[in-house]
Amino acid sequence: GAGVSQTPSNKVTEKGKYVELRCDPISGHTALYWYRQSLGQGPEFLIYFQGTGAADDSGLPNDRFFAVRPEGSVSTLKIQRTERGDSAVYLCASSPTSLGEQFFGPGTRLTVL
Amino acid sequence: SQELEQSPQSLIVQEGKNLTINCTSSKTLYGLYWYKQKYGEGLIFLMMLQKGGEEKSHEKITAKLDEKKQQSSLHITASQPSHAGTYLCGADMEYNAGNMLTFGGGTRLMVKP
């Protein structure tokens, strides 16, 4: 079956612009996670959804970052007024429940010029 | 992440040699996950460990979680070029909190033919 997909695979934007990153989880997975991975480092947790609600957004670095999952499936990570420090690979993962293996997508590489 | 230390940071081995990667925490690990990542790609799940003293194997890769659930090791026997990549340990460090993973910094493995 289809795995987790993320679009776009690459996004180049200018400082100050707004971007949206999309995640399509595996069908039926109720838990969805966003992580950010900087070059040469491990992923860092951003936000976790259980169904439609954000169960934990403690990893979002500031209020420029926001994520939604309105129908409990697709999720969108939104970044306002992008900064060069936001450049990273943004990874999405989904899981059948909030326990067990997380299935990761290929990531979106964001470059802020 | 300083909460989860991986060692070594990088490793070059001759094909056919054995190797071990370590993942250490000062806190109890409620779930320990090993992933492999190729450059520019998402994370591929390898194994999950939850019980103290647990050991799992898949093909030539064995992972263990110590009795105190604070350290895990990943051992590769008779390494092959296909084993090359970055190995990441991720851990659930809060009990029943949604399984947001904290990752180590990764171990970059190169296997020389």
CA–centroid distance for A72 within its chain:
14
Cβ–Cβ gap A56/B97 under 8 Å: yes
Average pLDDT taken over every residue of chain B: 92
- Tell me the mean pLDDT in the region B35-59: 92
Residue-wise DSSP of B28-82: --SEEEEEEE-TTS-EEEEEEE-STT-EEEETTEEEEE-TTSSEEEEEESS--GG
Instruction: Lowest mean pLDDT of A9-18, B14-23, B87-96, name the range.
Output: B87-96
Nearest CA in chain B to A10: B40
Indicate if the pLDDT at residue A1 is higher than 80: no
- pLDDT, one tens digit per residue, over A36-88 is 999 989 999 999 999 998 889 999 999 999 999 999 999 999 999 999 999 99
Contacts of A42 in chain B (CB under 8 A): 1, 4, 6, 88, 90, 103-106
pLDDT-derived band of residue B39, with 50, 70 and 90 as boundaries?
confident
Contacts of A10 in chain B (CB under 8 A): none
CA–centroid distance for B29 within its chain:
13
Within 10 A of B110 (CB to CB), how many other CB atoms are there? 13
Indicate if the pLDDT at residue B28 is higher than 90: no
pLDDT of the residue at A99: 78
Q: Which of A40, A59, A91 sits opposite B42 (nearest CB)?
A: A91
pLDDT of the residue at B18: 98
Query: Chain A neighbours among B 34-93 (CB < 8 Å)?
Result: 35, 40-45, 48, 88, 90
Cβ–Cβ gap B45/A103 under 8 Å: yes
Contacts of B4 in chain A (CB under 8 A): 42
Nearest CA in chain B to A90: B42
Nearest CA in chain A to B6: A42
Cα–Cα distance measured from residue A65 to residue A59, given in angstroms and rounded to the nearest whole number: 10
Cβ–Cβ gap A107/B45 under 8 Å: no
Whole-number percent of chain B with pLDDT over 70: 96
Phi-psi region of B8 (alpha: psi -120 to 50; beta: other; left: phi over 0): beta
Cβ–Cβ gap B33/A101 under 8 Å: yes
